[in-house]
């Protein structure tokens, strides 16, 4: 009786795990399209992880007066913005930075009205690469990483949390980024047509 129960348990687990595995062919990605975009610091999107670029001042461009919230945002954040000549399809974004240098940031896209829309808020990221794969591709002409000048870090020598960043007078604190890479999924390859055989 136990043998039958164990057999059903193993078959159930195998069928469940089989459903969790990858289905379909793997996704083929395009070449990195970030180098074709304009950027404040060309080292941010030069497709070279050995060069290091820096974020720049976050500047809000509006036709009207800036609100107090806009002014606070400019004072507290820096940015790395990629701008293409025409809209691009974006589905995968990779950000490369030294460990601990880019723990918090927002990935944003510019919509048709010129407003920034956050597609991912990243918190407590400590690795040297951050990979974001969107379930559906999006069209945009602008991509921005919005990075705080200071943040509360949990990873300071095992001690209590403290604010990372410069102290003293208000200064711009730019964050180093090794590379920003942007990709879109290529259409799946069609299976080769089988030659017709005469019968």
Q: What is the pLDDT along the chain (199 residues), one digit of tens a residue?
A: 666 766 666 766 666 655 555 556 788 999 999 999 999 999 999 999 999 999 998 877 765 677 888 888 888 899 999 999 999 999 999 999 998 888 899 999 999 888 899 999 998 888 899 999 999 999 999 999 999 987 655 555 555 444 554 344 444 488 999 999 999 999 887 655 555 555 5
* Pairing label, strands 105-110, 151-153: unpaired
Residue 163 lies in a domain: no
The enclosing domain of 180 has a CATH number of 2.60.120.260
Residue 82 lies in a domain: yes
Residue 194 lies in a domain: no
Q: Domain limits at 107?
A: 35-150+173-187
Residue 18 lies in a domain: no
Provide the domain count of the chain. 1
Residue 92 lies in a domain: yes
Residue 156 lies in a domain: no
Helix (H, G, I), strand (E, B) or coil at 129: strand
Residue 6 lies in a domain: no
Residue 57 lies in a domain: yes
> Helix, strand, coil % (nearest 5) of the chain?
15, 35, 45
- Say if residues 98 and 178 touch (Cβ distance below 8 Å): yes
CB atoms within 10 A of CB 2: 6
């Amino acid at each position: 009786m136990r043998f039958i129960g164990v057999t059903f348990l193993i078959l159930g687990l195998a069928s469940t795990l089989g459903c969790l595995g990858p289905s379909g062919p793997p996704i083929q990605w395009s070449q990195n399209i970030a180098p074709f975009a304009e950027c404040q610091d060309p080292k941010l999107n030069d497709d070279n992880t050995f060069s290091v670029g820096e974020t720049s001042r976050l500047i809000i461009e509006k036709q009207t007066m800036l609100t107090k919230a806009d002014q606070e945002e400019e004072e507290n954040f820096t940015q790395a913005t990629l701008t293409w000549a025409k809209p691009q399809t974006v589905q995968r974004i990779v950000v490369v930075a030294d460990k601990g240098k880019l723990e918090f940031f927002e990935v944003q896209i510019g919509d048709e009205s010129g407003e920034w829309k956050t597609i991912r808020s990243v918190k407590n990221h400590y690795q040297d690469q951050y990979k974001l794969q969107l379930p559906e591709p999006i069209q945009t002409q602008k991509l921005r990483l919005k990075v705080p000048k200071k943040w509360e870090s949990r990873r300071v020598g095992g001690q209590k949390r403290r604010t990372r960043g410069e102290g003293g007078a208000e200064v711009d604190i730019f964050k180093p980024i090794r590379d920003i890479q942007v990709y879109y999924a290529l259409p799946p390859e069609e299976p080769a047509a089988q030659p017709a055989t005469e019968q």
